Chains A and B, each alone.
Chain A
Amino acid sequence: MSTTRTWMLRLVGIGTFLLIWEIGGRILGDALFAPLSSVIKTYPEMVEEYQLFQELSISMRQLLIGYFLGCTVGVSVGTAMGRSSLIDGLLQPWVSMLFATSIAALVPLFILLFGFDLAFRVAIVFMSTVWYVLLNTYHGARGVDRQLLETARAFNATPLQTFRLVLLPALYPYILAGMRNGLAHAIRAMVIVEMYIIVGFGGIVFHTGLEVETAPLIGALVTIMVVGVLLTEVLKALGRLIAPWYERTQHA
């Protein structure tokens, strides 16, 4: 299928969806499902009233702290587990257990452990990111070409040099895929936390949800969708910038 045809079909799909939304919304009414036109009309008002972008930028800053902590720990522990069967065996049961743990279920517990402040929100975002990065890195590290490592050893590379110059480039596509997955889950976790304790962006979702009209709520949902898609694109662009030769392999 040619790319122009694909793009045409995409546009048709999006157009049909928007049309169904508009017509469905008009039939159901603002209280049940606001049509596209009312969402657009009330959007500037909603942004003003709820200080949407200020709140969102504060939420995002907290998200990024937890996210980067999660990525750092995920990459280092994942590499260690992938390369050492001792560390792997010692951590594996706990990693599998924590990976299977519901983030929402941890929220009430983490409130007791960390309070309601920054540490709590960062901890939840961290917990939702780290396992995806860790497991992806781990699977990558287990499959690293032995010859590469033996060559490094033959050249008397220090462990740090081996990590930085051999392992990290080999793991790069896996780390990037893990980071992409982790980002989606970090955003979800942020919304879970903020809706639970009613602050920041999640608090806005909660409050707009209490309004009689659904237009502001849909506006908030569309905003977080756009932010999520943009952040993912930024991540992809960074990936291409750092290592353009991985363009095709990171297609996971």
Chain B
Amino acid sequence: MRHLSLSEKSRPYLLFPMSIILGLSIWEIGGRSMSDALLAPPSAVLLRFMEMVADGSLPLAFASSVQHMALGYALAIIVAIPLGIALGRSPSVAAACEPVINAIYAIPPVAFVPFLIVWFGLYFEGRVALVFLMCFFEILINIHQGVRNVDRGLLEAAASFDLRGIRLYRKVVIPAALPFIFTGLRVGAGRAVNAMITAELFFAAVNIGKLLKNSGNAFDTASMFSIILSVSIFGLICQETVRFAERRLLPWHHQETP
């Protein structure tokens, strides 16, 4: 984009802090004029957040929550990569599988919860299953697209050098599809964090979900805001971590993906 001027480049450093201060001030004024049971001001949220970190309740809850999130996310990646490659490499496989995949994808994941309870129970396994379900399709779709769009020229060159089997995938297909794979992993990481808290609210309430429910029952909006914001920030950190890994591993291709 040529028309981005210098002032526009420096814009974030000036405007973003202003935006945050402005937003927090409006929230503070609004929160103070209302009861804490309705909308706690940011000062109260920050205080509550520090209390929850100091007494260990929030870090402990996070440490347990991350377990089912990480396992579900890892399982989704393990299943999605080979399936996505198969779909991307063979138009026939894609045509046969796509309607079924799209149909299952169209069902809201949370609606599967009663099912997952029957199969996996109310606890850890059930939560892992929901995390899997919520991030699997996002990862799969991106890998499918990436492999399908591998440059034909590359494939033809590989064919003329008689590259086949595992080596074709290791040397050509996967490296060429990596940017898409990373997009899938990044979007999937965001979904996994989202699923982490969703699972704790819809199965037996534990960890962060339990903290959130309990503060809701106590009309403690300051705690609720600190929990929700911590989860959002954690989600952003997870996504940025994937982006960072992408930049390190694929320095030739760090374009901004939407």
Contacts and interface: CB of A to CB of B under 8 A. Distances in A.
Contacts of B162: none
Contacts of A217: 114-115
B99 A89 contact: no
A59 to B, nearest CB: 12
A18 B104 CA distance: 13
Interface stretch (B50-58, B77-85, B165-173, B195-203): B195-203
A206 B198 contact: no
A77 B250 CA distance: 34
Interface string A99-117: 0111111111101110000
Nearest to A113: B38
Interface in B181-211: 190, 193-194, 197-198, 201-202
B96 A209 contact: no
A220 B22 contact: no
Nearest to B220: A112
B19 A93 contact: yes
Interface stretch (A65-73, A164-172, A189-197): A189-197
Contact of A224 (B12, B97, B108): B108
A32 B118 contact: yes
A229 B103 contact: yes
B216 interface: yes
Contacts of B108: 187-188, 190-192, 224, 228
Contact of A221 (B22, B111, B201): B111
A210 interface: yes
A102 B193 contact: yes
Interface stretch (A4-12, A38-46, A240-248): A4-12
Nearest to B12: A89
Contact of A112 (B102, B219, B232): B219
A195 B117 CA distance: 14
A102 B111 contact: no
Contacts of B38: 112-113
A155 interface: no
Interface in B203-248: 212-213, 215-216, 219, 221, 224-225, 227-229, 231-233, 235-236, 239
A202 B236 CA distance: 29
A92 B107 CA distance: 31
Nearest to A226: B106
B121 to A, nearest CB: 13
A89 B110 CA distance: 35
A97 interface: yes
Give the dominant DSSP class at B's interface.
helix
Interface in A184-242: 184, 187-188, 190-192, 195-196, 202, 205-206, 208-210, 214, 217, 220-221, 224-225, 228-229, 232
Given A10-B99, A101-B228, A196-B201, A90 B110 contact: no
A191 B111 contact: yes
A146 interface: yes
B224 A109 contact: yes
Contact of B119 (A32, A142, A190): A32
A112 B197 contact: no
Q: Which of A1, A97, A208 has the most CB of B within 10 A?
A: A97
B106 A106 contact: no
B110 A195 contact: yes
A228 B198 CA distance: 21
Contacts of A151: none
Contacts of A184: 106
Interface of B: 1, 3, 8, 11-12, 14-16, 18-20, 22-23, 37-39, 91-92, 95-100, 102-104, 106-115, 117-119, 190, 193-194, 197-198, 201-202, 212-213, 215-216, 219, 221, 224-225, 227-229, 231-233, 235-236, 239, 258
14 contacts: A14-B99, A31-B118, A89-B14, A100-B239, A102-B228, A105-B197, A109-B225, A109-B228, A135-B258, A139-B258, A191-B111, A195-B111, A195-B202, A221-B112
Interface of A: 1, 5-6, 9-10, 12-14, 16-17, 31-32, 85-86, 88-94, 96-98, 100-109, 111-113, 135, 139, 142, 146, 184, 187-188, 190-192, 195-196, 202, 205-206, 208-210, 214, 217, 220-221, 224-225, 228-229, 232
Given A10-B95, A108-B213, 15 more contacts: A9-B96, A12-B96, A13-B99, A88-B11, A92-B15, A96-B236, A100-B239, A102-B194, A102-B197, A105-B201, A111-B216, A139-B258, A190-B108, A206-B114, A208-B114
